[in-house]
Structure 1
């Protein structure tokens, strides 16, 4: 069933991706014009053109992704001791790494920078990487763990501290496969992209894993820095990630893979310094 879920999620995203939806709509509208169905084509091409123009000129994706990125903040006071630092895969660029034979960082490369910082802060804590290929076409490449190890080695992290898990294809499998590696009574720092943190925390709680979120890789801008700037690629980065994550939260909740639809920070203990 996990494989069916994985494949269906990838096929579904091919259609539901905002960028793909715009292109598919333009193609469909053009075909209707070709077959002289002018009235029907207008109902598709006009709304699609307006939506494309809006995404082109303004970062509308910020409205979608920012509530996710604000959901969990970095700890105001860091824990005195942790049993491990968990970094979820996604910061590396698997295709380019395989293409050029070198370890390449992707959009989520901040995950590695933050993990190295935390590893220096907690020199006795193991660094636990969890992540395989999220691509249908790049399964069983056998390189995900070695790419992560190469990146950390280049950053000066002692390889003896690394624990590598590279069979996970999605976030649910991350935490399922981490169960044999982690302790139920342990305390772990969790490093992943800020927009991805709510779903990650919800799944961790579903598996009974106690994690302290350490979000990185923010994609949205504060309202003061949102302008008409005609930067389609930058706008799509936030729109695609935010839309995908809201879909992921909903599907994971409906299928019982997360503890809540939109997980929230735990209430503060009365004795907390906060």
Structure 2
């Protein structure tokens, strides 16, 4: 069990996450690295993608396609706090699943899914799958890894049963083409991404990413990200009169103390001034 915040708890079992949020809304700026299936057990989940907003209510489920950027707002509904179950289908798991399929029974000439956020229709298979996992919210006993893998398998089968277009989505193992590093960073510096994840999203191995980054900046990737976030924070504080408590989260810092120290080191005075 991981206590991620004073009013938030997260349990993680073999790529299945059980999340609680006890107070107010929680905004997460996420790059979705792997396909994800999300079930809202209580409260509400808002998904913001560019200009579109999709609301997922209690008892509903949504599929999030990999390699996309989505803002999540996990919020209560009345007195009912948010809690949800997140299933992550990583590349290796899906490769193994694909190898077990009878290729002759896989639908042919299916178009790829264009949407990256897909609210799923009501399905008895999906509902029963997530209902079977609800007891783990309150259990202190860790479930067996084999059992959690079976739940992941059941999740994939449920998606394939709902819509055959998921075949082309889940089993697309094409490598990402290299994309411009600086363009990606300028669009995504505010997100909580590791250097490994940034390398992945720009279509590179970690070593190739570091080598390519040296060609375009004298700074390390970590230093570049900090300075870029601080520059935006400075502009927001000076020109838009935003509160420091709002700005540090908006530009991608998770810790206020870290932000304040870095800001003062960069500009010679604290952000409050």
TM-score (norm 1): 0.25
TM-score (norm 2): 0.25
Identify the structure with bigger relative contact order (alpha carbons < 8 Å, sequence gap 6+): 1
